[in-house]
Amino acid sequence: MARLLVLVNSVVLLLFGSDMFLVGANRPPAPVNVSIMHLRADSATVSWEVPEGDIIIGFSISQQRQDGHMQRFIREVNTTSRSCVLWDLEEETGYTIQVQSIGLYGESQASKKIPFRTLKKTDRFPSNSSNQDDPTVQGLDKSRHLQTGEMIIIVVVLVMWAAVIALFCRQYDIIKDNDSSNNKEKAKPSSERSTPEHHSGGLLRSKFHPSVPSINIIEV
């Protein structure tokens, strides 16, 4: 009985060990060339490379302040991105990051720890062409374009409404003036109305003339 138990334990350990070996062998290698770009007072961009020949479906980033007070984990799958923007950082603060690749059979070992320190808010950003590819700069540009487009739409709508209101007020004034003129004509007394004239230019007179006395002449 004791030999049977020992045999079963050996088989279980052998199967478990082989599974662990297969899983470990299929894990992707750790990311390489991890670097920090486009440092800001409140953000930074992390970039890395992955050795070729491995299927990578995502990444995981461990972010921690150098004083150890805060730690944050960022995990994203179904992506081929090799960079990530770290937001909501504190100015003039030291951080440490590590990157892991996510494969079909698990996560890789963590990369080397990369320390960096954020800038002051008063520091000016270096103006170079590489900033055009920074997701931070692209996000600011998109937000600026959206604000400009919204302002143009608002101005156009306000101008259209002003034109409609002005046209309505104009029509209302015309109708009001016409009604006022009609009321004044109706309110005039009969004495002020013009006396009708004859077509020959004189005043219209009665067609009956006063009777002229008749004279009878008798011949002798």
Residue 78 has pLDDT above 80, yes or no: yes
Distances (CA, A) of 5 to 13, 16, 18, 137: 12, 16, 20, 65
Averaged pLDDT, 47-56: 89
Average pLDDT, whole number, for the chain?
Answer: 75
Confidence of residue 18 (pLDDT cuts 50, 70, 90): very low
| Of 34 and 192, the one with more pLDDT | 34
Distances (CA, A) of 66 to 63, 115, 117, 191, 205: 10, 8, 9, 105, 119
| Of 183 and 171, the one with more pLDDT | 171
Residue 12 has pLDDT above 70, yes or no: no
Confidence of residue 133 (pLDDT cuts 50, 70, 90): low
SS3 of residue 149 by DSSP: helix
What spatial distance separates the first Cα and last Cα of the chain, rounded to whole Å? 194
Nearest-angstrom CA–CA distance, 46 and 95: 12
Under 8 Å CB-to-CB from 137, ≥6 apart: which residues?
Answer: 38, 131
**Residue 108, pLDDT score:** 94
User: pLDDT tens, 87-125?
Assistant: 999 999 999 999 999 998 899 999 999 999 999 988 765
**Residue 208, pLDDT score:** 45
Averaged pLDDT, 12-39: 69
Instruction: Kindly list the structural domains of the chain, giving each domain's residue range(s) and its CATH number in brackets, ordered by start.
Output: 25-117 (2.60.40.10)
